[in-house]
Copies of this chain bind each other. A is one copy, B any other.
Amino acid sequence: MARPTPLSGFPELLPEQRIVEQQVIDTLRETFELHGFAGIETRAVEPVDQLLRKGDTSKEVYLLRRLHEESAEGHSGIGLHFDLTVPFARYVLENAGKLEFPFRRYQVQKVWRGERPQDGRYREFTQADIDVVGRDVLPFHHDVEVTRVMVDALSRLTDPARLGLPGFRLQVNNRKLIQGFYAGLGVAEGDATDEVMRLVDKLDKLPTSKVHELLTAEGGLDAATADRVLALATIRATDDSFVAAVRDLGVSHELLDEGLEELAALVRACADLVTDRVRVEADLSIARGLDYYTGTVFETRLDGYESLGSICSGGRYDALASDGRATYPGVGISLGVSRVLVPLLARTGLAADRKVPSAVVVAVTDEDSRAASDAVAHALRSRGVPCEVAASAQKFGKQIRYAERRGVPYVWFPASPGSEHGHQVKDIRTGEQVEADPATWSPPAGDLRPRVSTGSTNNSEEKQQ
């Protein structure tokens, strides 16, 4: 078999990179569980008709076909999920009678999209979602809750003592605020409002003057209304001062009041969590395009990697799902684990300082005494010290290099029977070698697990260009 080449859009990691991803996922899980969120997994597939309900994603769906499929459609009626929201909504409906509401869940899984691969966009990638779902009602304080949980999670990821990822900027807005503002301006509800939101969303890519032109030409707004729509979209604040800025635009509407009140409450409720690593900012340009959000909306930028777009998004939806008997309102956020990590790993060389979990390589004096080395390893493992026994009884110098190549910090030399020397352990970084007892020795806590080297994570895309 010739050496295979990678498949575009299906990123894979080396062991020392996978340790970083695993620590990110562990940190997320730890945070979500501390907040009482239950972990679930859904199957990778959903019925095709469910996947195609949202017309705009249909082109991205991978359908499944058994090799000997005989159906007229040419597929098995199922496809790979393209997000974790569609399967979660189905899971809630399917198990509604067995779940307790409000139901807090987290879900970290791969999803698949058949779109063209590009920077930060993959055909297979991992998402980490949290949602709170109620039956018929879901108070606004859950919007605050999911925001705080995600800010907590992102803070842990950026903690220099943990992974030291770059900072995050969480941008929040509220659809009621936008829709109420537009309604107060006289823009018709429904398609007209959606079209204006869609055009305002282009502020990301187009200059303000061009969006203004589109708002009058395609959006059907007069120039003065377009001015105020754009004035709203440029308001940003890290506290609730945005309320006064919106009021100054002289628009009033009941729904606008409700939106302003919710967004102000959200920003105030997160104030105690904000640091220079993770900021929360009211950004009135955020609308989440055509997604079906009805209140709070979120986007998130990774410092130095703004060109990736939003890497953590979500919001409030009045009906995640509904069956004949009940509707299930929800609020949630989805973090693009691969979208953040794969570019970071590629550009900064971010990696663990080991290629293996082992803290110790137990040397082998000769093949006949391998059992003695195994016994040392067994004793260390019984006290939680990850270790491996050297693969062959080479000269000790070679066994030390074996450990070095893997980034393992310690090499253990078992006591030789009949020799006056007892067991010895060497820190191969310093060369220090000491007598040690397999029944009691442990490495310092910081050496027990691989560490993620954060030295170069400041190599943002700006610095590379």
Contacts and interface: CB of A to CB of B under 8 A. Distances in A.
Interface of A: 1-7, 10-15, 18-19, 21-22, 33-45, 47, 50, 52, 58-68, 74-76, 78-80, 90-91, 93-96, 98-100, 102, 104-105, 110, 112, 114, 124, 134, 139, 141-142, 145, 269, 321-324, 355-358, 367, 370-371, 381, 384-389, 391-392, 405-406
Contacts of A322: 1
A124 B44 contact: yes
B6 A38 contact: no
Given A59-B67, A65-B75, A370-B141, A36 B3 contact: no
Contacts of A90: 4
A44 B31 CA distance: 27
Contacts of A36: 356-358, 386-388
Contacts of A91: 12
B45 A388 contact: no
27 contacts: A1-B93, A1-B321, A7-B43, A7-B45, A7-B78, A10-B45, A12-B91, A15-B105, A18-B41, A19-B39, A21-B41, A33-B386, A35-B388, A36-B357, A38-B355, A44-B124, A45-B124, A59-B67, A59-B68, A61-B66, A62-B65, A62-B67, A64-B65, A65-B65, A65-B75, A102-B391, A104-B356
A2 B323 contact: yes
Contacts of A58: 67
Contacts of A62: 64-67, 76
A80 B75 CA distance: 14
A5 B94 contact: yes
Given A64-B62, A112-B44, A388 B15 contact: no
A428 to B, nearest CB: 15
A1 B323 contact: yes
Contacts of A67: 52, 58-63, 79, 114
A94 B414 CA distance: 36
A42 B391 contact: no
A76 B65 CA distance: 11
A405 B100 CA distance: 8
A357 to B, nearest CB: 4
Contacts of A40: 13, 15, 18
A78 to B, nearest CB: 7
Contacts of A323: 1-3
B63 A12 contact: no
Given A4-B93, A93-B4, A18 B35 contact: no
B64 A94 contact: no
A99 B406 CA distance: 9
A210 B52 CA distance: 53
Contact of A94 (B4, B11, B371): B4
Contacts of A94: 3-6
Contact of A34 (B12, B19, B65, B384): B384
Name the 9 nearest CB pairs between A and B, nearest first: A36-B388, A36-B358, A33-B357, A66-B114, A15-B38, A10-B43, A34-B381, A62-B64, A63-B65
B100 A406 contact: yes
A442 to B, nearest CB: 13
